[in-house]
Amino acid sequence: MRQIFLKAIQFIKENPRIIYSLVLVVILPAAFFINTYLINSNYEKNIDKITQRKAVLVENIINNLLEDRTTDDQKLQSLVEKIKKENEEITSLSIAKPQSEPGEFQITASSDPALVGQQQSGSIQNVIAWEKPEGVAFLDRNEKGRFWNVTKTLVDDAGNKTALIAMAFSLADSDALVQRTIYNSYWILTIIILTVVLLVSNQGRLFGYALTVTKLKEIDKMKDMFISMASHELRTPLTAIKGYAELLKEKKEIQSDEQSSHFLGNISISVERLQELVNDVLEVSRAEGNRLPMEIVEFDPNEIISQSVEEMRSQAAAKELALNYQPLGEPLVIRADKDRLKQVLINLIGNSVKYTLKGSVEVSVKTKGKELLITVADTGIGISSEDQANLFQKFYRIQNEHTKNVTGTGLGLWITLEIIKKMNGNITVESIEGVGSHFTVHLPVVGK
């Protein structure tokens, strides 16, 4: 037990924010309890005031009914019994007439016939009620519960006091309503307290999750920093290796040695692949961290598209492929990053050249509604429907007999899609295996 207590103390020291939750366990239930108690108390007081007014009102009505019958004791008794029978809230009703001695009264009619004829003397309530025209009302209690005890004078048409009317008005119904309300409110309070306790009991686990998320964010940040640092550090030796390889290629001794030339060629290819991988991994890290540098400006895309096509023309020619470009006849303006758009187009055209064995690659531009559509179409190996569904995932590459000798990281299309999304655009693909593929970039046009 002591060990558990010490561990709890240690956990609180390491995570002081948990104290806030522990305080909630005490403050919230206490606040709910006080609030419920005050509401119920005020509710009960208001109910008592309402019932008091009701009791006085009922007695005033009875007073008016009895005004003309105060001289006839038999009629008074019949009327009192009738009123008591028809009103369940009236638990007792009696009429008392003054006697010769001050403060003495005799009951002449009562809802309890056994009380008729009894003398009342020394009753402070009767004395006060006889002196006060508005009468007297106070709360009392017996074995059946609380009731309003109301006493008031009866007056004749001339304004003379003739008798006292005393009534006990039961609060059983209102008290039952108040008790139900209090009972329900305390049930709700109990449920709320249990809910708070359960939430706080889970706070340790939730707090652990929060710490895990924080650590994961820190790890993710460290990963990004490591990738960025490693990418920059790798570029320097790769550039040096590539430079030395190019210098060796120019030496006559190497040029005359077929095997050495072959080895140097493989070195250059491997260096290029490594540089491509380093660049792609760095771009992925930036995109995932929302740190991809973008400079969004308004410009006419025709020039960027033409430059991209021209840069890729030598690669197409090396494979004896025709690279055609159908520019848009009319000028237009888009909002995008010039360098990033060029990166997207070179990647798409490069892929088409890479996966096209013979035929052509065609770049076309057109507008449709408020969009600019840049389509790169080829007569290559095509893409199956299954591969199309996974095409833009990270590290995904099409694996078949046509692609086994084609190098790549599987990151290019994912990076391309992320760039286009950041320029408020999209990429769609249509392809048939053995026929070719159409990749279309959709970008919003300014002013349309």
Tens digit of each residue's pLDDT (9 = 90 or more) over 302-355: 999 999 999 999 989 988 999 999 888 788 899 999 998 999 999 899 889 988
How much is the pLDDT for 50? Answer: 74
Q: What is the pLDDT of residue 405?
A: 61
Walking along the chain (448 residues) 10 residues at a time, the average pLDDT comes out as 66 62 68 77 76 67 60 77 80 85 85 86 82 80 83 76 83 81 80 75 64 71 68 73 78 73 77 74 70 85 92 90 87 90 91 89 91 92 83 72 62 86 92 90 86
Domain ranges across the chain? 24-174, 206-288, 297-444
CATH topology for 24-174 is Beta-Lactamase (3.30.450)
Selecting from 3.30.565.10, 3.90.1300.10, 3.30.420.40, 3.40.1130.10, what CATH number does the domain 297-444 have?
A: 3.30.565.10
Alpha-carbon gap, residue 355 to 402, rounded angstroms: 8
Q: What is the pLDDT of residue 97?
A: 87
Residue 336 confidence (pLDDT): 92
> CA torsion, points 201, 206, 208, 211, in degrees to nearest 10?
-140
Q: Partners of 166 in the beta sheet?
A: 94, 151
Q: Residue 140's beta-bridge partner residues?
A: 147
The residue type of 33 is F
pLDDT for 58: 66
User: Which pLDDT does position 407 carry in this prediction?
Assistant: 62
Q: For domain 206-288, give the CATH number.
A: 1.10.287.130
Rounded (10°) CA dihedral 300, 306, 307, 308: 100
Query: Alpha carbon of 68 to those of 63, 82, 133, 224: distances in Å?
Result: 10, 16, 18, 100
